[in-house]
Structure 1
């Protein structure tokens, strides 16, 4: 074998090891929502609140994942990946411990905010490492493997959470993400430490966080009342023009002008956001429906466990699919799949069909396994390397805001209009995403023929 061939093999082996480890770390952030979702009906009863309000533990976690993600991406551009990833994993661990020890529902919500703020480091920095370390087909395979492992662990979250809850209670379920600390030593050498040392746009970060929070508060307000709805409206009305002004004032700030005016970045992120919306929505809906009809938490987890197998298989399909058909078509496929999964889930919730709900989770897993690496590949190729970290952060912000929107729709509308109708609302989002993709689909050509 020639020198080039040896290098390719070593590079492929290295990408496999690093992407799996980062996928496990990413999966633990997903488990922070997936395993916690199984416990929502149980913690709501124990802390004397409703299931609708209990879903705020998922919504706030997902929201912090979204709004803190670009901060980590920008910090990584400035100082490298090592420090922000270490800080993020530390905060995630602290939040998990505080969640397990929370004496009240209000304290639990604060702990979940801390946990989400820490976990936000992992999605962006994980893909930043892979995007910087590999290229071409190896990068596509690595990103697909990252998403697949993450999805598999997230799918196992309900089962693991149900088993842990049965033995140790819901508080132990909240502590599961602490195992992320064990992964850091094994990926440390792959994390680059250099950066540009530029200044961080704190004002821009706060404005984006507040505007994103306004959207989620408004969507989930049906379960919480008019005060939350008013707060959401005010944050949106004030936040959108303020963010616009900040971008004009600081074109190289938190939201670089060249990134947010890049149509590929924005269209790809909007289309991909429907995938986590479906994912977070169904993770809340399935336990709520089945536990409400007498199932134990571990039984619900067992019902969803086959999707973990699908999550492991998807990378073998996602990588070649992405390389052959390109990111735009992969995103369109993920969107169609997400819409179908929500329709099936709605039917399952209406008819109390465990099998239909399990099939819907399988479809959603496929969408996540294809859509997330397609988004990262699309954005990574569309921007200059100097702003790749922040571009991936902005894309992941929109991607994960979709997750908080999904949980907000189910939590906000589920109690008022029922789970089947709330899932139908989520089925509309992928259709809107595909509409946003149309210009890209028209001009797209397969990456490899």
Structure 2
């Protein structure tokens, strides 16, 4: 990892990257363990794939939970709670004799891991440091499938335990986190708002599984959340955040680029099946994801010199190129290259927008704004596969 001078009270970026990256590694290693998981627990392969769905669901729940903790209890409490979720989830997965217990463990792992990702990005402070975190998430996540294949040869459970190394970074976070959080007297936990957000994002994640039921539930939860936000301007989703044009723009861009990235991650291998072997597809995809992630890291370190207009143009152009290549590229290698453009655009955008969003809202809402932006990015992990299913149908 490229070193960067620290200001007083800053956490070294290597610890922030370590806090965030194991979650992406664990998420991407799941698919390779599914066949052995199904045989070991005596369930069908279709039922076993709920392990991936549970992880995606838990991941998007981690952001709103962490946003609430950061706002009402501070960094220390948020870090401890999310670390406990990762540890508890890992213990459940390690010893789960049945699929329901395994799913509960995966959801807890992902909720805690997703929260730690949010904390890492919140603590980064600058686009270059946030870029190191998000590029690390993309780069390490690219090694998930081969790591899962290798570890599955020893035990199918090992690929599902890869969230645990994130806890190695927790002591460094706690050393820099204040012991006491000075909460404003007017700040209260908006329990209803949190539950409505969690319900809405849960329906989004479950649409590919439950279809009409999930769509109907989202049609109810969405308006209820809108009404609640109007009635509680200082609630879980504060008005100064959602009325910020910078936040709305960043959230839309982050969600769109993340969705296209995850959609391409599922569709591109299918498009290449008629040209290459499975092994070659996996290797080229790994190379492309690694290339895009490294490019994201280098770009975000220089984005400040380029200026906002150039940076936005590069990000949007890369995202558009990623979407266009599978349709117009004359050679398979260019189709595969779409994943490099996609991971570059998604991770670099998240790194660049997060500090800017935090800077344009009042200080008391900074953590909430970054957490909600992270949630919008993570929702791409739910929308993308659902879009891929429609495209490949």
Distance 1:76 1:267, change over 3 A: same
The answer to whether structure 1 residue 403 and structure 2 residue 389 are counterparts is no
Q: Secondary structure at 2:189's aligned position in 1? A: coil
Show the counterpart of 1:49.
44
Show the counterpart of 2:65.
71
Show the counterpart of 1:140.
127
- Normalised to the residue count of structure 2, the TM-score between the two structures is 0.85
Q: Is the 8 A contact 1:213 1:235 kept in 2?
A: no
- Normalised to the residue count of structure 1, the TM-score between the two structures is 0.75
> 1:179 aligned to 161, 165, 170, which one?
165
Between the aligned partners of 2:232 and 2:76, the Cα distance in structure 1 is 27
Q: Is the 8 A contact 2:25 2:141 kept in 1?
A: yes
Deviations 1:153-179 (A, max 9, x none): 1222223222222x3243210111111
> 1:161 aligned to 148, 158, 162, which one?
148
Aligned length: 385
Unaligned runs of 5+ in 2: none
Between the aligned partners of 2:36 and 2:256, the Cα distance in structure 1 is 28
Show the counterpart of 1:413.
390
The answer to whether structure 1 residue 216 and structure 2 residue 209 are counterparts is no
Between the aligned partners of 1:388 and 1:14, the Cα distance in structure 2 is 18
Q: Is the 8 A contact 1:291 1:300 kept in 2?
A: no
The answer to whether structure 1 residue 365 and structure 2 residue 343 are counterparts is yes
Between the aligned partners of 1:162 and 1:283, the Cα distance in structure 2 is 18
- Higher helix residue share: 1
> 2:356 aligned to 375, 378, 386, which one?
378
Deviations 1:270-301 (A, max 9, x none): 111123223333444567788999746x9836
5 Å-filtered alignment, 1:252-401, equals: 252-285=234-267, 295=278, 300=282, 303-305=285-287, 307-308=289-290, 310-326=292-308, 330-344=311-325, 353=332, 355-356=333-334, 358-401=336-379
Between the aligned partners of 2:17 and 2:358, the Cα distance in structure 1 is 18
Distance 1:303 1:229, change over 3 A: closer
The alignment yields a C-alpha RMSD, in angstroms, of: 3.3
Between the aligned partners of 1:42 and 1:24, the Cα distance in structure 2 is 28
Greater displacement, 36-45 / 70-79:
36-45
Show the counterpart of 2:228.
246
Q: Secondary structure at 2:44's aligned position in 1? A: coil
Q: Is the 8 A contact 1:22 1:146 kept in 2?
A: yes
Shift of 1:384: 1.1
Q: Secondary structure at 1:338's aligned position in 2? A: helix
The answer to whether structure 1 residue 11 and structure 2 residue 6 are counterparts is yes
Between the aligned partners of 2:320 and 2:150, the Cα distance in structure 1 is 30
Between the aligned partners of 1:344 and 1:162, the Cα distance in structure 2 is 29
